[in-house]
Amino acid sequence: MILRTSWVYGVHGANFVHTMLRIGKEKSRIGVVADQFGSPTAAADLAATVLLLAERIRNKASFPWGTYHYCGLGVTTWYAFAAAIFKHAVAFGYPYHPEVFPISTAQYPTPAHRPAYSALDCTKIFRNIGIQPIPWQERLSKVLKEILSPS
């Protein structure tokens, strides 16, 4: 079985959410690519999906082998994802309010080529295995709460 995913972020490690929060402390204006589309995926949701698949395989559940997609439900741009991060972060006491503005991929050159559209269709994993992706906005709020709320 192959499980494909996209735009993974979480409470721990280096990822887009942590990068935006860090840059938000440093800059009052942030240009973010607005012409690349994808589906943000919470690492905890991806881990839960992998564990569920492993359990079903261990218990010899019957479903077709192959390539499956799992990512957060919904499609967005890096720009809209960044804007959502700051919008939700305020609810958990994040004190910075940078202006997020859209830029093109050409305005943000990187060594690695990024596809303009990397959203994945998760219909197969739902249809064959019953795993329903969770809206990325819902999980973003929970991840930000865990990152920003005092322990």
Residue ranges and CATH numbers for the domains of the chain are 2-146 (3.40.50.720)
Q: How does residue 151 score in pLDDT terms, banded at 50, 70 and 90?
A: low
Q: Is the pLDDT of residue 113 over 80?
A: yes
Residues in a beta bridge with 100: 30
Q: How far apart are CA 23 and CA 70, in angstroms?
A: 28
Interval 49-108: pLDDT, tens: 999 999 988 898 888 889 999 999 999 999 999 999 999 999 999 999 999 999 999 999
- 8 A C-beta contact, residue 47 and residue 3: no
Residues, the chain: 151
Q: Note whether 20 and 146 are within 8 A (CB).
A: no
Give the tens place of pLDDT for each residue, 49-58. 999 999 988 8
Distance (Å, rounded) from C-alpha 126 to C-alpha 67? 13
Phi, psi for residue 79 in degrees, rounded to 5: -60, -50
**pTM for the full model?**
0.94
The residue written with tokens 């079903």 in the block is 56
pLDDT in the model for residue 41: 98
CA atoms within 13 A of residue 77's CA, in its CB half-sphere: 16
